[in-house]
A and B are shown apart, each in its own frame.
Chain A
Amino acid sequence: MLGQPRPAETPYSVTARRGIISGERPVRFHARRDRGVIGCEKGNAMADLLAIGNWLLPLLYLALLVDYGTTFFLRTRTEARSPWLGVAVAAHLVYLVVRGVHLGYPPVTSAQEIASVLALTTAGVYAWVELASRDRRTGVFVLLLAFLFQYTSSMLLAGRVAEASEITPGAVGVWARLHVVPALVAYTALGFAGVYGLLYLLEHRGLRRRRFGVLFDRLPPLEVLEPMAWHALLTGFVAMTVAIAAGPLLLQAEGGEMTTKVLTKIITGSVAWVVCAVAVLGHWVGKWPASRTSAIAVVGFLVVMALMIVSGLLS
């Protein structure tokens, strides 16, 4: 049962892993410990690696933040490519793979794990955007988000980074994948919509109020920011629709128990979907101006962030 102390002798078993949709009782997964001396040493090495990665990643994102902040505020190398973003993304990917291998399940089962994956997807998608646009001016804002996600994850995992979460078999099954992957895409997209929507509003208001300050000088033009926010919203809407559709099937696979954790997830996901849907409909049907769509993206993003934090605290 959930919350029961983990029996020290219980090994991670393939049987338990495969019994996902057979309605078995929830199993507590934990790191593999049945591999003898060599396996044990490997396990310890992996645990050490994870501990290092857990404190190294926020530092890496912080260093990137300083680098991109310098670029933005001191107006240097706006078109130059920095290898460090790629290094951070690769290191983060390695960290998550190692964590997945060590624990024996994809690390997307708890709020802290999801926060880390969101940090990676945010940084990864931004790296692609930078590669395509050859413009690193907005990096500081997006990477701030990645840093906050990873910092939150690292703080919550501090001291128990190599320990497994308490999960049900359904949480690692096919419905979970159909639910979790689009949900991650949707939250990442909403993050981008929030950041680019905010930048759009800052530039838009600066231009209207004749505030020719630092932001006026440094931000990309409205015609660049607006499609970024809009495409992110559209992606978020489509992905969240898929995630919500797969949600009930996942819940059923996990036993159908409506816990507080599940309830907060449903509320968060629904709010995110409503935000995206309102913005998409407003843009297409209502012919809203970009400033209104951007404002909705920003407010929606903040509300979803707040709900995610509450959800994390409750779980």
Chain B
Amino acid sequence: MAELSVIGASHRTAPVEVRERLALAPDQAARVLAAMHAETTFDEAMLVSTCNRTEVYFVPRAATDPLAYVLDHVGRVKGARPEVDAEAFYRHDETDAVRHLFRVAASLDSQIVGEHEILGQVKDAYRLAVDARTTSALLNKLVHWAFRVGKRVRTETDLGAGSASVAAAAVDLARHIFSNLEGKTVLLVGAGQTAETAARALLRTGADRLIVANRTLYRGQQLAHDLAHMPADGGEGDAEAARRPPAADAVGLDAIGEAITKADLVITATDAAEPVLTWQALSDVLRARRSALLIVDIAVPRDVDARLGDLDNVYLYNIDDLDRLVERNLERRRLETPKAEAIVAQEVRQFNRWLASRRAAPTIRLLQKHLETIRTRQIERYAKQFSDADCTQLEQFTQSMCKQVLHAPLDMLKRLSTDATPSKRLAAVDLVRQLFDLDAIDDEQPR
């Protein structure tokens, strides 16, 4: 029986209609974990459920079919057991499971490689598991190690650099023009879904004033209200969560000329057949302004007269420009993948080395060696005070004493190596190593 496994379905193995049957909301995931905690099938478990994957990392206790077990639990909280082909699932054991989690945390296994949300999602999953008390020594260590891998990949490679969606590309462009989006005003022209997503991204990044210009004023007001009261971004958006909501206002399309004088960023996405931001209406207004204006035109056909982009302080981009930026960033991320994979491989090797050190046999050997070193050192120190005959006796006496001292812990470690679950063994070995500071001694050993 494997000590650590992962079983699940992701965008690599299952289409969206399968994934949505398996996806669990946080409260559902918490209920599944609580049920698992009450039973004895898994010694440890963590459930990661996002729109692209549902997977369970577990340390098995009893020999059972983990897939059937997990599906049963998912079925219980969702009302019916999801009917999914076994082919939609993958299972990795031991080192492969470790590598899988590290790749997930590093965003190498994501649909959009390098995306930033996954690390926060794994953190949320871990928090749920800790709350449900389904983690112990092995998963605690593994998941924290995975966080470190995720951060390392993010800081040491360009895997997450640049924007990978139209909304993120708009934010990316804004960051190249403005030093800080705080205090900036976003003018949203039209109430289309893409424009709304881009506006959300800009508001999350710091823009704190919003004007929605829409043909139907009521719809504009509704959207302005929704955007002003949108929930704070989860994941790692700590500081953003504490930010006060943006001031939001709505105007009709006829008031764009006045609204644009207050705006620093404009996002347009109407379904109008003719340009909404015309040269005749806006050229004089925009020529007179001194600060930069970023206009992102996501609409097809375009909403903005291209000649406005020739004005000195105006930076105008259409959907093709954003697509090119996104494509270029994705290509850059692809080029960074080998570097990230190398980091993951290195960390997997280190984790395995740590795991091997937590087995009973090497710990027993190290403990014996440690006590023998102490004994020999003390004998050498006090040998001059004894005669040769006494020294022999002293040697025998100390050897016997060390054996007596070691008897109970060694016996416990031996028993744990055969009888205990991996998590219990790991916790016990960890305790022994900490008590005798064996890790420090182990580091001094030649590898």
Contact = CB atoms under 8 A, between A and B. Distances in A.
Interface in B182-208: none
B325 A217 contact: no
Interface in A190-245: 203, 207-208, 210, 212, 216-217, 219-224
A262 B173 CA distance: 49
A224 B315 CA distance: 16
B177 A224 contact: no
Given A210-B317, A291-B312, A221 B177 contact: yes
A289 B312 contact: yes
Given A212-B328, A287-B290, A223 B312 contact: no
A203 B317 contact: no
B439 interface: no
A207 B175 CA distance: 11
A81 interface: no
Interface in B98-149: none
A216 B161 CA distance: 12
A169 to B, nearest CB: 50
Nearest to A223: B179
A221 B324 contact: no
B176 interface: yes
A292 B313 CA distance: 11
Interface in A265-299: 287, 289, 291-292
B176 A289 contact: no
A222 B321 contact: no
Indicate the member of B175, B179, B325 with the most A CB atoms within 10 Å: B179
A207 B321 contact: no
Contact of B177 (A75, A207, A289): A207
Nearest to A77: B155
B178 A221 contact: yes
B176 A221 contact: yes
Contact of B175 (A221, A289, A291): A221
A207 B173 CA distance: 8
A210 B318 CA distance: 11
Interface in B146-188: 158, 161-162, 173, 175-180
A217 B178 contact: no
B179 A220 contact: yes
A279 B312 CA distance: 17
Contact of A212 (B309, B312, B315, B325): B325
Given A212-B324, A289-B312, A224 B158 contact: no
Interface residues of B, number: 21
B317 A222 contact: no
Contacts of B179: 220-221, 223-224
Nearest to B321: A210
B7 interface: no
Contacts of A217: 161-162
A212 B328 CA distance: 8
Interface residues of A, number: 18
Contact of B313 (A210, A220, A221, A289): A289
Contacts, number: 42
Contact of A216 (B176, B290, B292, B309): B176
A35 to B, nearest CB: 56
A223 B324 CA distance: 24
Interface in B297-353: 309, 312-313, 315, 317, 321, 324-325, 328
A295 B325 CA distance: 27
A210 B161 contact: no
A230 to B, nearest CB: 12
Interface in A125-148: none
Nearest to A216: B176
Contact of B158 (A75, A223, A292): A75
Contacts of A292: 312
Contacts of A207: 173, 176-177, 315
A223 B291 CA distance: 9
Nearest to B312: A289
B348 to A, nearest CB: 24
A285 to B, nearest CB: 13
Indicate the member of B290, B321, B324 with the most A CB atoms within 10 Å: B290
A203 B313 contact: no
B325 A223 contact: no
A216 B317 CA distance: 15
Contacts of B180: 223
A217 to B, nearest CB: 7
A221 B313 CA distance: 14
A74 B309 CA distance: 32
A30 B102 CA distance: 69
Interface in B265-317: 290, 292, 309, 312-313, 315, 317
B292 A222 contact: yes
Contacts of A212: 324-325, 328
Contacts of B158: 75
Nearest to B177: A222
Contacts of B290: 287, 289
A291 B312 CA distance: 8
Contact of B292 (A219, A220, A223, A287): A223
A291 B309 CA distance: 15
A208 B328 contact: no
A216 B442 CA distance: 48
Contact of B315 (A75, A208, A287, A289): A208
A208 B324 CA distance: 14
Contacts of A287: 290
Given A208-B309, A222-B292, 20 more contacts: A75-B161, A203-B176, A207-B177, A207-B315, A208-B315, A210-B317, A212-B325, A212-B328, A217-B161, A220-B179, A221-B175, A221-B177, A221-B178, A222-B177, A223-B177, A287-B290, A289-B312, A289-B313, A291-B312, A292-B312
7 closest residue pairs by CB, A with B: A289-B312, A223-B179, A224-B179, A223-B178, A221-B179, A222-B177, A212-B325
11 contacts: A207-B315, A210-B321, A210-B324, A210-B325, A216-B176, A222-B178, A222-B292, A223-B177, A224-B179, A289-B290, A291-B312
Interface of B: 158, 161-162, 173, 175-180, 290, 292, 309, 312-313, 315, 317, 321, 324-325, 328
Interface of A: 75, 203, 207-208, 210, 212, 216-217, 219-224, 287, 289, 291-292
